[in-house]
Amino acid sequence: MEAFINHKGLVAPLDRANVDTDQIIPKQFLKRIERTGFGEFAFFDWRYLEPGVPDPDFILNNDRYKSASILVAGTNFGSGSSREHAPWALLDYGFKILIAPSFADIFRTNCFQNGILTITLDKEKVDYLMGMASAPQYSGYQLEVDLESQILKDENDFSEKFDIDPFRKESLLKGQDEIGRTLTSEDKINSFESFRIDRW
């Protein structure tokens, strides 16, 4: 996965609580194991009235959010099943950062494993960001995230430090998932395997 150091991007507000993984990526699209190609199916049942007919009332169908890379959502985002296709769909859609008052634990772990930064903030701060991203006078509202300093800010007066597990922070900064971290010890693994084979 790509290293995550800092990012500045357009914010899309999804003012819904308890968004589960079946709503993020419906089960009928879980027929492949490749990580790409799922973006077109993200929030499919909300984005379309029927296949090929976009719902004009769904927030992500609004032209002002077409290039959004930061999603602000409600409490308990990513609940439900543990399908890893959910972060695959969000990443393929274009989201690099998710902000919410809380996340389902397994979903949050899956996001980190795929290079998506999840940021937990107090509900009042999430409501502020939701309002800014929704307000007509702030069309094009952006946030900037610096992972090293753990600072989230906008171009106005908002600036907030966020918490992140040190191990997950290091993994994102280095762009290492579990396989990548394992491969950093490839020489030791090969040495152990050679020793084990020689003994037998």
pLDDT score, position 192 = 62
- Percentage of the chain exceeding pLDDT 70: 88
Q: Residue 185: its pLDDT value, please?
A: 60
pLDDT over 60 at 199, yes or no: no
Answer yes or no: are the C-beta atoms of 48 and 94 closer than 8 Å: no
How do residues 8-56 score in pLDDT, each as one tens digit? 999 999 999 999 999 999 999 988 777 889 999 999 999 999 988 999 9
The string of pLDDT tens digits covering residues 165-187 is 999 999 999 998 766 666 566 66
Strands 142-146 and 70-73: unpaired
pLDDT of residue 198: 58
Domains and CATH numbers, the chain: 6-199 (3.20.19.10)
Tokens of 153: 């800010």
End-to-end CA distance of the chain: 37
The model's pLDDT over 120-157, given as tens digits with 9 standing for 90+, comes to 999 999 999 999 999 999 999 999 999 999 999 999 99
| Mean pLDDT to the nearest integer, 89-93 | 97
Q: Mean pLDDT throughout 102-108?
A: 97
Check residue 178 and give its pLDDT.
67
Return the pLDDT at 182. 61
List all residues 6 or more positions away from 6 whose beta carbon is below 8 Å from its beta carbon: 144, 145, 146, 147, 148
CA distance linking residue 85 with residue 26, whole number of Å:
10
**Which of the two residues, 81 and 148, has the higher pLDDT score?**
148
What mean pLDDT comes out for the span 105-130?
Answer: 96
Is a pLDDT exceeding 90 seen at residue 2?
A: no
3-state DSSP assignment of residue 11: strand
Residue 191's pLDDT is what? 67
